[in-house]
Amino acid sequence: MNQAKIVLTRVDNRLVHGQVGVTWTSFLDIDTIVVVDDLAIHNSIGCKLMKSVALTANKAISFYSVDDFVKVFFESESHQKLFLVVSSPCTVQRLVEKNIPISVVNIGNMHYQRGKVPFNRKMYVDQKEASSINYLIDQNIDVYYQDIPGTLIEKIPHLNYEKLGQRKSESNG
């Protein structure tokens, strides 16, 4: 049985927007954008907006919870090339733990929220997200930050949440 191929998994807290839906999809050789997010699937307005972005890029788009994606991925025969888009590295960890074959994770925007510390000016992580990124690295998954194709790729090392937080407070003091 042939399974779909995951070309790239991207973490972006905004999910599918112009940068992801048009810039990344035109760069990647994919058939379908797959949004895997337990909350987004219940947001009909958000899904409608993401569908319009995918339509602009002339790509198919699907929306799944983590469990539904795992079930469909392993039970369906497909030759599709997929671009997975998730809002958090914690979702990627859950997929990997369920044996979804992910080898490359591109991290894009992870906006600042209370309790998050900066890795760089567009990527902020909380303790749980840092732990998930470290888990992925420990699984020999290539994890890197890149805003858009063609810009600098910043390889992400093991993250020490406390040290990142200290770096933030030192730059403020």
pLDDT by residue (tens digit) across 13-40?
A: 999 998 888 899 989 989 999 999 999 9
How large is the angle between the packed helices 89-97 and 127-138, nearest 10 degrees? 40
State the sign of the Cα–Cα–Cα–Cα dihedral 141, 142, 148, 149. negative
Q: Which residues contact 67 (CB under 8 A, 6 or more apart)?
A: none
Domain 5-172 sits in CATH at 3.40.35.10
pLDDT higher for 160 or 154?
154
List beta partners, residue 13: none
Residue of 17, 42, 79, 158 with catalytic role: 17
Report the C-alpha gap between 37 and 83 in whole angstroms. 14
- The alpha-helical segments, DSSP class H, found in 41-139 are 44-56, 66-75, 89-97, 127-138
DSSP-assigned letter for residue 89: H
State yes or no: is 42 an active-site residue.
Answer: no
Q: What is the pLDDT of residues 130-150, one digit of tens each?
A: 999 999 999 999 999 999 999
